[in-house]
Amino acid sequence: MKSEHYFTENPTSPLKLRTIQLLYKGRILKFLTGGGVFATENIDPGTALLVENLVLKGNERVLDMGCGWGAIGVAAAISVPKGSVVMTDINKRALDLARKNTRTAGLTNVEVVPGNLFARLEGERFDVIASNPPYRGGRELILRFIDEASAHLETGGRLVIVGKGTQGIIFYQHYLKERWKSVEVLGRKSGYRVIEAREPLT
Q: Please give the positions annotated as active site.
A: 38, 132-133
Q: Which residues pair with 125 in a beta bridge?
A: none
Phi-psi region of 123 (alpha: psi -120 to 50; beta: other; left: phi over 0): left
The whole-angstrom separation of Cα 185 and Cα 162 is 10
The whole-angstrom separation of Cα 24 and Cα 56 is 14
What string of DSSP letters covers 121-186? -TT--EEEEEE---GGG-HHHHHHHHHHHGGGEEEEEEEEEEEEGGGTHHHHHHHHHHHEEEEEEE
Task: Write the CA distances from 32 to 21, 116, 164, integer angstroms.
Answer: 9, 22, 25
Other CB atoms within 10 A of residue 170 CB: 13
